[in-house]
Every structure is written in C-alpha cells, then in structure tokens.
Structure 1
C-alpha cells in the first residue's frame, strides 16, 4: 500500500512539474481573459552619447552650394547610391562608413565632451540630442546660405550585446533606431528552454558614464510600457539560467570533481602497489 502511495505521489509531482515548465516557456501570460485588446506602449528616443559615431550628409539641388558643409572626402554621388540601396538613412549601418578604398564616407565621432567638429559650423554639442534634432539644427544653420538644404543624420555604431541563455549569444549591429527587446531575442534565435523568462536584465549606459539596469518579465504585457522595452546603443541584455540549468551545472561539476578525485586515488594506489611489488620481489 505504501509503495502504491509513493507511485501516486511521484505521478502528481511530475504533472505539476510539467505544468510549471509549460508556464515558464510561454510569453505574455497576463493576456488571459480576452481575445483582443489594447496594450499600452512606450516612447522610444535614441539620444546621442559621447563616443557615438554619426553619418551626416548635407545636400541640395545645387551640390556645390552644400560642399562647405561636408567633409572633403564626401562623395555626394556615392551617398545617393547608398541611400537608394538602404531606403532610408535611419537604416544605414556601420558598414556604410567603411566602404573600401577612397570611396569611404567620413563619419563624425562624438568626443568625451559630447561635441563634434562640423565643417563651416565649427563645434556642435550633440550629446543628449536625437538624430532628428541634430539634422534640424544643421539644416537651420545651412539655410542661411543654401536654399532648401537636405540634412540626413544616422547613428552608425548602434550595437546591443545579448548574453546568457539564448540560442545564439552575440553582439547585434542594429540598423534601425527602433529596436525592442523582442527584436534582440528574435535575432538571437529565442531564449533557450533554460532561460528565465520572468527575469531578464537590461543594463544601460548613461550620458555621464554611469549604468542603470532594469529587470523585465516576458510573461507580463506591462513590458511594452517599460522604458527599457526599446533598446538603446550599448545596452546589455542578460538572460539568467533557471534553477534546472544551475542544478545541472552543479551536478556536472560535482561529478567531474568526484571522477577527478577517484582517478587521482586510483593512480596513487597503482603507484603504491607497483612500489610494494617491486620491493617485495627484491
């Protein structure tokens, strides 16, 4: 009778364990009551930081009129071709600034004070501004001497590091300013079955060099309204391993230690046995 009760108890534990695993592997569990609805979102706004790399081009119907606002190596014909391929300067990646040979388009590196040295306009403080704000500022200045200038600004070193329990941990070179936590997860091939879906950590770099962090729960739809839902340049996303992965790791480490210890003891015993035999024979 006792044996039968043990079997029943074991089956119940397995069933409960299975339900918990299914829950842990799912997303958006807070959507349970309705088939459709509205989920509040969050604003996204990428602001420029020191050491960011910017691609800035100024053009107009008369290319010679805007030449003074572009670096000497700038080639407006090449820029036009790149824009046609990319579709939008917001989607120009860092590879745009690394065209081989003399066709390389120069970029601007924001210094530690948050400034760039721009042709004809001199030093411009861009840290804390968006790419749209920078473009508007330069356009207003250029309009004093150029009719209807077109200014395009793109952040070309937008990258996100994803670590931990995902299928493919990697550094993602982002090609758009609107990039969410789920975009990062999808790029990395989703979380592994051992990843904690209720406790992702996003670490963010601030303009003053400090870092802040936020824990996100993929089960809860309130994640869409989090200021950390849309990622920013240099964000680090870490997916913690769940208890099963940690227990397996400890088990494997303990077994490895035990095997190593046993191997050492066996080797030592073998050496001692060989010495005893050698002495006995003599």
Structure 2
C-alpha cells in the first residue's frame, strides 16, 4: 500500500514538474511580431518606381553653373563648431560638415533666396525641375543636384544581422535589403515576409512570398525610405523558444527527480 502511495506521489510530482516546463514554452502569440493587424484591400501598396520626399527627410542640394559666383547665394556654406575638437563636425575626409535641408511636417524646406519651397511628395526629378525653373530668374543654365542622405530601411526578425541600414543610393530592392542583413536564418518563414511602409502619414502593410519568383514583380519589391521588413520565425523556431533557455538545468532536474522516484519505489 505504501509503495503504491509513494508511486502515486512521485507521479504527481513528475506531472507538476512537466506542467511547469510546458508552461515556460513560448507560444506563437508570445514570439511573432505584428499579429493583430488584419490586411485588407486598403492596405495594398502601389509600385514606387521613384521615391518621393517625405516629412523628416534630410536633403543636400547643390547648385552649380558655368559662373560659380552666380550660384554662391543658393548654396549653403559648410559649418564648423566653436570647439572643433569634436570630430563629429568633420566628415570622413576631415572636411567641415555640409549643411542640409530638413523637410518639415508640411513638406517644406527653407531655401536661400527662394524662400519656402514645397518638396513633400515630389520625386527627385520633379524637385530638380522645380528648382531649375525658380532659379532661371537668377542663374542661366543652373545645374541642380539633390540627394537624400537619410534613406534607411530596417530589417527585423529571423535574419542574421537585424538592424537599421543607411542606403547610399536612392533605390534598393527587397533582396538587396535582406542581403545587407545577412539573409534569412534557417528558421525564417520565407513565404510570409512582412513589410510596413508609411504613405501620406498612414501605415500600410504587405506580405511577400520569397519562395515565389513572382516576388520580383511585386509593387513593393523596391523599397522606399523608412520601410520596415520583418521575417517571421517558422514553427520550429517558435517551438524551441522558451522563457527558460537553460535546457541542461531542466534535463538535470528531470533526471534527479526520476532517480528520487526510483529510490522511493524500491525502498518499499
């Protein structure tokens, strides 16, 4: 009788321990990002053949001409700071920092001589033509070069190097962005890559299937500034994820408890 009671008691202890271990396992709800946003027709994104300027974009604008003196008033001078011991006032070549233009919440920049210019929503080509038109009153055959210097994309989830990446060019594909992040890990869900993009102040979403060649024809295959890419973990990775990652301790505890159970049983 005592043997049976000890056995039942040991089984209960083992059951409780197994439940504790099971409860430490992370579910998909605990692990996967962006789960509760339903995708609908309003969330579909259009093809961005050329990026357009948005609020908080930082631009450099250079105006040149065969008459350098004529364009001097339209170019911001490089800046320095009172204490030039601060290396942040120098660029990689040791030169003074260039001044830049910040696109304000209304899509405007303040340009020398010309005043307030609306560039929000314009592509680089459109903004260049607009500036050339306004400069014709002052400069003959002005050359305008505009660059976006804070074009970043963020790659999260099951990639080898998640992070935010600054893009030197003004065009990057989904494949190139994933390449910067070291490609997907073996645990990345390749048929469900999530993209978040802000359009006209609203967040929009898309999901992409990297296992299909047709992904290159997707309207969101080419990214725009501030896009966020998230690679969801597959089921195997979710199952392996636990709040307590010390597997060796768990195995040791189970073995110890099994030994105690065997001793209790054999002692009666």
Matches within 5 A, 1:82-231: 98=91, 103-208=96-201, 210-231=202-223
Q: Is 1:238 aligned with 2:230? A: yes
State the alpha-carbon separation in 2 of the partners of residues 157 and 254 from structure 1: 38
State the alpha-carbon separation in 1 of the partners of residues 61 and 131 from structure 2: 10
Instruction: Work out whether residues 77 and 98 of structure 2, in 8 Å CA contact, stay in contact via their aligned partners in 1.
Output: no
Instruction: Work out whether residues 48 and 224 of structure 2, in 8 Å CA contact, stay in contact via their aligned partners in 1.
Output: no
SS at match of 2:190: coil
State the alpha-carbon separation in 1 of the partners of residues 135 and 78 from structure 2: 19
Shift of 1:189: 1.4
In structure 1, the partner of 2:12 is none
CA change 1:105–1:134 in 2 (3 A) is same
Higher helix share: 1
State the alpha-carbon separation in 1 of the partners of residues 246 and 159 from structure 2: 26
Shift of 1:147: 1.5
Structure 1 length normalisation: TM-score? 0.65
* Most deviating of 117-126 and 218-227: 218-227
Q: Which runs of 5+ in 1 are unaligned?
A: 1-41, 75-94, 267-282
CA change 1:70–1:254 in 2 (3 A) is closer
SS at match of 1:240: strand
SS at match of 1:103: coil
Shift of 1:72: 3.5
Structure 2 length normalisation: TM-score? 0.68
State the alpha-carbon separation in 2 of the partners of residues 117 and 101 from structure 1: 27
**CA RMSD between the two structures:** 2.9
State the alpha-carbon separation in 2 of the partners of residues 202 and 43 from structure 1: 14
In structure 2, the partner of 1:79 is none
Runs of 4+ in 1 over 4 A off after TM superposition: 97-102, 254-258
State the alpha-carbon separation in 2 of the partners of residues 222 and 127 from structure 1: 32
Give CA-to-partner distance per residue, 1:76-130, whole Å, 9 cap, x none: xxxxxxxxxxxxxxxxxxx9x9568762111100111110000111101111011
Instruction: Work out whether residues 48 and 220 of structure 2, in 8 Å CA contact, stay in contact via their aligned partners in 1.
Output: no
Give aligned pairs, total.
Answer: 202
Higher strand share: 2
Q: Which runs of 5+ in 2 are unaligned?
A: 1-46, 80-87, 258-268
Structure of higher RCO (CA pairs closer than 8 Å, 6+ residues apart): 2
Instruction: Work out whether residues 50 and 207 of structure 1, in 8 Å CA contact, stay in contact via their aligned partners in 2.
Output: no
